[in-house]
Amino acid sequence: MSREKIIVLEVNGRRHLKAFPAHRTLLEALRELGFFDVKCGCEKGDCGACAVLVDGEAVDSCLTLAWTVEGRAITTAAGLGTAENPHPLQDAYAKLGAVQCGYCTPGLIIASESLLRATSAPDDDDIRLALSGNLCRCTGYTKVFEAVKEVARGRAIGGRK
């Protein structure tokens, strides 16, 4: 039986203290803490439904052990924006029809944000490669790419955040 340890997870700007065993993944820990916007999909790094930002970079939380990210800044899709005050990506995804069943959406938003933080003016190839670790069975991706491009354009002209 692996030992438990109380760790501090800093999620969406707030610190959470909780005991987790060594084998607990970040995905499991976040859902135990109530962050249900982080979804469990393939659990092997193919689907991206569990993606979160760790210090600003998107990672699959199903492949990350909770203990290894103690003290790092973890951001889930809900940490980027809310229904009342959406993040520009969340806004664009909703307005442009890039959301259907919604299961993949939090992970796609995280991967999109990670791309835009690293690349201010991504071309089509950049966007496709940045989102190649996110599976969506509804949209066919075209509207997802349009939403990312719309936000990238907005940022480029200094319009929105």
Instruction: Report H helices in 34-161.
Output: 77-80, 88-95, 105-118, 124-130, 142-156
Q: Compute the least distance from the CB of residue 24 to other proteins, in Å.
A: 7
Q: Which stretch binds other proteins (CB under 8 A): 33-41, 61-69, 89-97, 140-148?
A: 61-69
Please tell me whether residue 87 binds other proteins under the rule CB under 8 A: no
Rounded to the nearest 5 percent, the helix, strand and coil shares of the chain are 40, 20, 45
Please tell me whether residue 1 binds other proteins under the rule CB under 8 A: yes
Please tell me whether residue 15 binds other proteins under the rule CB under 8 A: no
Two tokens, residue 118: 């690293």
Which residue is it, tokens 């995804």? 93
Determine which residue in the list 18, 31, 128, 149 makes contact with other proteins, applying CB under 8 A.
Answer: 128
Which amino acid type is present at position 23?
A: H
Q: Write the CB contacts of 53 (distance below 8 Å, at least 6 apart in sequence).
A: 59, 73, 74, 75, 76, 110, 113, 114
Please tell me whether residue 113 binds other proteins under the rule CB under 8 A: no
Nearest CB to other proteins, comparing residues 98 and 131: 131
Which residue is it, tokens 């993944």? 25
Determine which residue in the list 98, 130, 151, 152 makes contact with other proteins, applying CB under 8 A.
Answer: 130
Q: Compute the least distance from the CB of residue 78 to other proteins, in Å.
A: 18
Determine which residue in the list 4, 32, 57, 123 makes contact with other proteins, applying CB under 8 A.
Answer: 57
Which amino acid type is present at position 55?
A: D
Please tell me whether residue 25 binds other proteins under the rule CB under 8 A: yes
